[in-house]
Amino acid sequence: MENKILKCIISYDGSKFYGLQLQPDKKTVIGEIQNALLKLNIKTYIKHAGRTDRGVHALNQVISFEVPDFWDIEKLKNILNQILMPGIMFKKIQITNNFNPRFDAKKRSYRYILSPYTNPFVDNYVTFYPKTINLSLIQNALNILKGRHDFEYFAKTGSEVNNYFREIYDAYIIKHKNFHIIKIIGNGFLRGQIRIIVDFLLKINENKLSLIDLELQLNKKKLFNKHLAKPNGLYLERIWY
């Protein structure tokens, strides 16, 4: 029986899972999707565009897998959404050829949301940060990060990659209502890179670190800080192909 390759855009609430990738005895996004497919007698390997850690959300994650040719993709999407709700939603499914969601990606964007207020109904989806934010200072720091750099000092220890060079195309911070949103667009990101960057930015905002410190760490002259900002404010926003 022939199979067809599907490209799927999904969104998920990261607070409900121990990350994207399969883990033994842990509830993960890929694990839940795999279980849902098995209920439909579909045994397949799921590829993804990029892992997200426990508590990190995705608005438009991209995955790919094969299904038997007889499946109607709109029907499949509806059935999967019924099984997977709440927490995971298939937004779009399309048939493709020789598609690899990770290696075919051209650029990715993440957003990080900060709130000065705590609220039990939104605390899983924003990071509580009650301090005043200096927008111009944070923007100056983000400007330093733009371009192609070796981000080894902004990656989780133990990251398995061929090299640490990544290019940031754009990075900015905006205020929207009561929220501050940091957006970073690049050709790819290392494990923990966005969260380490955000934590560094907040320490600059609090005068615990400086723009010079950021430049020194970016150029691998000195390591000041590799702490991770909380995961709940982070969203994988979009992937371009």
Is 191 inside any structural domain? yes
Q: According to DSSP H, which parts of 7-125 are helical?
A: 29-39, 73-84
pTM of the predicted model over 0.85: yes
225 in a domain, yes or no? yes
The phi and psi torsions of 115 (rounded to 5 degrees) equal -130, 140
- Judgement on whether residues 229 and 117 belong to the same structural domain of the protein: yes
Question: Is residue 37 in a domain?
Answer: yes
Residue 1's pLDDT is 66
46 plus 77 within the same structural domain: yes
- Domain closes at, from 70, 96, 122: 96
Give every CB contact of residue 57 below 8 A, 6+ residues apart in sequence: 11, 12, 13, 14, 15, 125, 232, 234, 235, 236
Q: Same domain for 113 and 221?
A: yes
Q: Is pLDDT of 2 > 90? A: no
Q: Is residue 29 a part of any domain in this protein?
A: yes
102 is a domain residue = no
pLDDT at site 72: 96
Number of structural domains (the chain) is: 2
Distance of CA 112 to the CA centre of its chain: 10
Mean pLDDT confidence for 4-29: 96
Q: Which of 96, 124, 158 is the last residue of a domain?
A: 96
Q: Which of 64, 96, 128 is the last residue of a domain?
A: 96
Decide if pLDDT at 111 tops 80. yes
CB neighbour list of residue 235: distance below 8 Å, 6 or more residues apart: 56, 57, 58, 59, 110, 111, 112, 113
On the CB side of 143, CA atoms within 13 Å amount to: 8
d(CA 162, CA 154): 15
Distance CA 146, CA 167 (A): 7
One domain, residues 92 and 144: no
Same domain for 88 and 150? Answer: no
**115 and 37: one domain?**
no
Residue 7 falls within a domain, yes or no?
A: yes
Q: Are 208 and 112 members of one domain?
A: yes
Gap between the Cα atoms of 186 and 33, Å rounded: 28
The CATH number covering residue 188 comes to: 3.30.70.660
Q: Are residues 118 and 220 in the same domain?
A: yes
SS3 172: strand
Interval 148-204: pLDDT, tens: 999 999 999 876 788 999 999 999 999 999 999 999 999 999 999 999 999 999 999
Residue 221 has pLDDT above 80, yes or no: yes
Q: Give the list of residues 6+ apart from residue 40 with CB closer than 8 angstroms, or none.
A: 76, 79, 80
The answer on 231 and 141 residing in a single domain is: yes
**Residue range of the domain that includes 22:** 3-96
CATH number at residue 78: 3.30.70.580
Question: Are both 212 and 120 inside the same structural domain?
Answer: yes
Helix (H, G, I), strand (E, B) or coil at 155: coil
Cα distances (angstroms) measured from residue 171 to each of 57, 87, 122, 190, 231: 19, 29, 25, 16, 19
Q: Which residues are catalytic?
A: 53
Q: Do 81 and 114 belong together in one domain?
A: no
List helix spans (H) across the chain. 29-39, 73-84, 135-145, 193-205, 211-218
Going along the chain, which residue ranges are E strands?
A: 3-12, 47-48, 57-68, 88-96, 107-115, 127-128, 147-150, 165-176, 179-186, 234-240
Regarding whether 217 and 116 lie in a shared domain, the answer is: yes
Percent of the chain with pLDDT over 90: 95
Q: Is the pLDDT confidence value at 138 over 70?
A: yes
CA distance 29 to 21: 7
User: Do the domain assignments include residue 101?
Assistant: no
pLDDT digits (tens, 9 = 90+) for 36-69: 999 999 999 999 999 999 999 999 999 999 999 9
Phi first, then psi: give them for residue 26, nearest 5 degrees.
-125, 145
